[in-house]
Amino acid sequence: MGLRELITDAWSWLDYKPAMADPRRPGRNAWANLTSSWIPDEDLRRLAAYRLLAAYDSNQAGQLAELSGDDDRGGERRELGDASKIVDTALGYLLGSEQTISVAGAEHGGDDPSPEAAAARAVQERLRAWAEKELLPLRVQQAERNAILLGDGVYTLAWDPGKGRVLLRTWDPGCTSRSGRRTARTAPTSRCGSTWRGSCPRTSGAA
């Protein structure tokens, strides 16, 4: 039987894996919880790719291969954490030893700054104080590791009237739809803006 449809998207390179090529196929379905009717088709490939990549990161690629029928003896594979090491190394090179918020003009002016430099310095101090309260380096590490491993990362900013500041949160991309709505847990109800770091949409064509 020839190829009936060609899909080109950010996860096409995984299509050689049976668990990824047709996530809804009957039989040995590795993604039974993903193929529920409430999962939109446009999100299914993305979520299946996340699961597949996460299996490599957690040394479960062999188990997944056996479960999906790709390798009947996949469970006997020895996995030494190389995938996780590569991700962590890339994260270290990406972020460096520290992350600092800098506002243009804040470092100029010395002891007698101009009004513009003084305003920039004040904004920088407020942003750095906010970043410390919101654990910005930790949030960045969480989201950027997802971006390296999965190709996607999600940040949200939402105003909290009780705390009187914007809250920064990172989410597992597998629990968030491309529209910004949560697919598994309830999203914050306050005004919220989301930033999606990640892959390109797919294109498809009949063969």
Dump pLDDT digits (tens) for 33-55: 665 666 777 788 888 888 888 88
Residue with the two structure tokens 């629990």: 175
Q: Which amino acid is at 124?
A: Q
198 near 173, Cβ under 8 Å?
A: yes
Tens digits of per-residue pLDDT, 129-165? 999 999 999 999 999 999 999 988 999 999 999 999 9
HSE, side-chain direction, 13 A CA sphere, residue 138: 6
The pLDDT value given to residue 188 = 37
Residue with the two structure tokens 């700054």: 113
Q: Could you tell me where the beta strands, DSSP code E, fall in the chain?
A: 5-8, 153-160, 165-171, 192-197, 203-206
Residue 78 CB burial class (10 angstroms; 0-12, 13-18, ≥19): exposed
pTM of this prediction? 0.71
Residue with the two structure tokens 């968030």: 176
Of residues 87 and 25, the one with the higher pLDDT is 87
> Distance of CA 180 to CAs 10, 28, 76, 153, 194, Å?
19, 31, 39, 12, 6
The pLDDT value given to residue 161 = 95
* Backbone angle region of 195, left / alpha / beta, with phi > 0 → left and psi within -120 to 50 → alpha: beta
